[in-house]
Structure 1
């Protein structure tokens, strides 16, 4: 799992690293390593043509100047554009700039010669708020270029901590991030502008240093998480029961999607508590499902619950939510279950909450826009307030528990379709029934939900929730080692 740190915490790690090295070199070796990494990245991409390096006057610009120098030494045609002027005297960035000026020149405006690559080393992780001129116009013009665009650490115009963009943002084909990923790269507007994302640690163990300094260390689930073990001598009783209490009149599809996802994820028994007409329809679509009455008294105390998709908000639904969350120790609250919780706030330890931004706002007394303005803070506050695992859905879903965040596979806009959340809720419940903790289930289901949808998006413009069901069954992730 790759480390994720706020921009200020990365700066703290850099200073600690420099202090440990001794001498008077400061963080210059890190800037030199970053510039070399950029140059190596471009060496593999470019054979001929002009490379534009957009260089600011801070450390991000210093990385760009170092990259320009190394690219020049490799024989590339490099043009440095520095719209903000010179760097602070005595800084690492100015040292890098002066070295570049010993072999090349810089200019303040974009040249007429078209580039094959544009390197964005303008602002980096210190960017806050909307871009002012001349940067806004320059970034907008570069976005119109038919060229490959590489962002250094963070695309200019993107808030590194919140993932918010205000106005124009550098639209990268690739972002090369240093030391640790920044939260804003992984959620909110970040997935829409970073392109392919890669971490270059520069030889700094950010995880160890952040832990030793008690910094808020988070994680990026870049690799596929495991699923529960299924050994040869297991029978269906070992894989648990899910009770899906969902799907009121006219909303049967939500409950059916959740129940089918729980089955596809591997639950040994899935009972859909729904109306008789929905139960009849379920037999035609998924005969492996069991059905029962949609009231609390019919729900087994030993089952993992999926409570809320399409349940409705009438008095019977409200009474059901109240009874089951008080009686059952674990499950997933989604959709109308979250609306009930917002109206009757209480701690629900052992449960997973799966809100979209509007539902998260209701749970926090905020608007959806306020949630989106800082998705990380919203997820952490939700987890603390309700003492639960939280999956804040959206581009770059965020998982929160006990003050820590995990960022999942970014997914694809093709999955912005009805029923996706219902499917995710059932999937999480199915994994919990097989013995995964609420956090493990949330991490695994959220990652695979997005990754499988992205795989389909390479073949079709829109991905529906029902498209995912056969892929869930066919996926072959690594299983964890058996407990002894």
Structure 2
């Protein structure tokens, strides 16, 4: 099985159309033979196959009609030449093959691959092939397909997902939209995907992470030509390993005022835990000072849980301005409700004009009124909240998450952090960011409150709202992944993620110290 983890993946994420244009540019303008490019793709995919599964057993290769199918035939040929047992099934009739895909099929046959037409094989025998397979190679549908897969592809996708054997997807899991990460009907859920030429945005957001599994990239030596082709990336991929470098090393003369004062406005009656988790997350992610403004009855529990946080109990919004004046960044929304108390708090926060993070009920209150755009706020909707803000359905948000985040920015300004698998950060400054990765353990109440606290803390430290949003989402995911190592997915709680934050940050500090040489190592020891 492939090991889940960070690969050396490029940052640029492209639409399906852009990748096809890059491919066309390489062939038409740079004179690279299309069939040679297909052979290179198949060879690199086969190398990944044997790296992930050194003893795969019997390999079942499923091939479609286009160039994706051609890749599959050549992968099968590579496997046969290396003495592996291969069943190759032509899901699309080989008589429909043309161009390079037809050349690939012919070469596979010449190299000893026994290609069987699906129409000539009984359903019971196909089912037996899935049962006996140690590995399945999905080379059925490529980037040019949109909409729900038709038969016989739909049936084959279903059998892939029911099989015990892992699936290696070639370029893209069949049925997944390469641009948006949406699935119409059903898509292959692969253990790993080897993709070529340019990273497809759909692999990293929406249903992409679930379908693609472990993503590996092979440029096929076209890196420079991707830039020369003039195709603009749709988004930029970020993860904690890359973005943590943007967080500066702490100087030895630092003091609490060096890292910002975060005010958390959260926790109406019945939701006191939201403010507490946000405040503790802000403290654990490096804020110099944290103040929690909440209902009076939550002051004692908050101090008992996190005595480093300054806690003020407020009955009315008129009590908030003195706390706002002392803060550098305000986080407003977790658990404030949509009643009078929450409305008063949000009005004071917005009227202050200070840098702010608006989450949860603050967004719901915004959706019920005409919100004023601002350059210095960060909005953190989940798909349901985003749908209310855009007055559309949740499905409309999920059908194109990158575009939805851009629309929210156009309407409300500032930075929009659209939560979900493959979190999207859009600000109008360059292309949006897509945070690479997902963790199903984070699908529980309170995780958004933790993210809000981390985001307020990094916004106070970095002062760049877009960078802060992307870094916060990446750190949040990294901490959840760390906590999952000991807690698993089903039992993961927001407090586990908070407790993992110092571990993740400590590792980053040590790596930063290593890059800075002896001086950095000395600083690292002092901080520990």
TM-score when normalising by structure 2: 0.86
User: RMSD across aligned C-alpha pairs, in angstroms?
Assistant: 2.2
Structure 1 residues 323 and 48: CA distance shift in structure 2, 3 A: closer
Q: Do the aligned residues in 1 keep the contact of 2:483 with 2:500 (CA within 8 Å)?
A: no
Q: 1:78 offset after TM fit, Å?
A: 2.1
Q: Unaligned stretches of 5+ in structure 1?
A: none
Q: State which of 160, 170, 182 in structure 1 corresponds to 2:178.
A: 160
Q: 1:212 offset after TM fit, Å?
A: 6.2
Distance in 2 between residues matched to 1:176 and 1:335, nearest whole Å: 37
Q: How does 1:339-358 map to 2 (within 5 A)?
A: 339-342=364-367, 343-358=369-384
Q: Identify the residue that residue 452 of structure 2 maps to in structure 1.
A: 425
Q: 1:145 offset after TM fit, Å?
A: 2.4
Q: Would you say 1:398 and 2:424 are equivalent positions?
A: yes
Q: Do the aligned residues in 2 keep the contact of 1:117 with 1:150 (CA within 8 Å)?
A: yes
Q: Identify the residue that residue 273 of structure 1 maps to in structure 2.
A: 293
Q: Do the aligned residues in 1 keep the contact of 2:274 with 2:449 (CA within 8 Å)?
A: yes
Distance in 2 between residues matched to 1:359 and 1:89, nearest whole Å: 46
Distance in 2 between residues matched to 1:286 and 1:344, nearest whole Å: 37
Q: Identify the residue that residue 106 of structure 1 maps to in structure 2.
A: 115
* Partner SS, residue 291 of structure 1: strand
Q: Do the aligned residues in 2 keep the contact of 1:5 with 1:180 (CA within 8 Å)?
A: yes
Q: 1:89 offset after TM fit, Å?
A: 6.0
Q: Identify the residue that residue 232 of structure 2 maps to in structure 1.
A: 215
Q: Would you say 1:318 and 2:343 are equivalent positions?
A: yes
Q: Identify the residue that residue 2 of structure 1 maps to in structure 2.
A: 11
Deviations for 1:426-452, whole angstroms, at most 9, x for unmatched residues? 101001111241112111111121122
Q: 1:142 offset after TM fit, Å?
A: 2.7
Deviates more, 1:134-143 or 1:82-91: 82-91
Q: Identify the residue that residue 43 of structure 2 maps to in structure 1.
A: 36
Q: Would you say 1:284 and 2:304 are equivalent positions?
A: yes
Deviates more, 1:2-11 or 1:364-373: 364-373
Deviations for 1:349-383, whole angstroms, at most 9, x for unmatched residues? 12211111000001111122221122121112112
* Partner SS, residue 404 of structure 1: coil
Structure 1 residues 291 and 366: CA distance shift in structure 2, 3 A: same
TM-score when normalising by structure 1: 0.93
* Partner SS, residue 150 of structure 1: strand
Aligned residues: 479
Distance in 2 between residues matched to 1:316 and 1:71, nearest whole Å: 66
Q: How does 1:149-228 map to 2 (within 5 A)?
A: 149-205=167-223, 209-210=226-227, 213=230, 215-224=232-241, 225-226=243-244, 227-228=247-248
Q: State which of 306, 312, 315 in structure 1 corresponds to 2:331.
A: 306
Q: Would you say 1:443 and 2:470 are equivalent positions?
A: yes
Structure 1 residues 415 and 462: CA distance shift in structure 2, 3 A: farther
Distance in 2 between residues matched to 1:271 and 1:238, nearest whole Å: 16
Distance in 2 between residues matched to 1:87 and 1:387, nearest whole Å: 54
Q: Identify the residue that residue 473 of structure 1 maps to in structure 2.
A: 502
Q: 1:87 offset after TM fit, Å?
A: 6.5
Q: State which of 351, 363, 368 in structure 2 corresponds to 1:338.
A: 363
Q: 1:235 offset after TM fit, Å?
A: 0.9
Structure 1 residues 111 and 11: CA distance shift in structure 2, 3 A: same
Q: Do the aligned residues in 2 keep the contact of 1:305 with 1:332 (CA within 8 Å)?
A: yes
Deviations for 1:50-69, whole angstroms, at most 9, x for unmatched residues? 21111111111111112122
Q: 1:79 offset after TM fit, Å?
A: 2.1
Q: How does 1:257-272 map to 2 (within 5 A)?
A: 257-272=277-292
Q: State which of 475, 478, 483 in structure 2 corresponds to 1:456.
A: 483
Distance in 2 between residues matched to 1:273 and 1:465, nearest whole Å: 20
Q: Would you say 1:75 and 2:75 are equivalent positions?
A: no
Q: Unaligned stretches of 5+ in structure 2?
A: 1-9, 119-125, 517-528
* Partner SS, residue 343 of structure 2: helix
Distance in 1 between residues matched to 2:238 and 2:231, nearest whole Å: 21
Distance in 2 between residues matched to 1:223 and 1:284, nearest whole Å: 32
Q: State which of 124, 131, 139 in structure 1 corresponds to 2:149.
A: 131
Deviates more, 1:329-338 or 1:396-405: 396-405
Q: Identify the residue that residue 58 of structure 1 maps to in structure 2.
A: 66
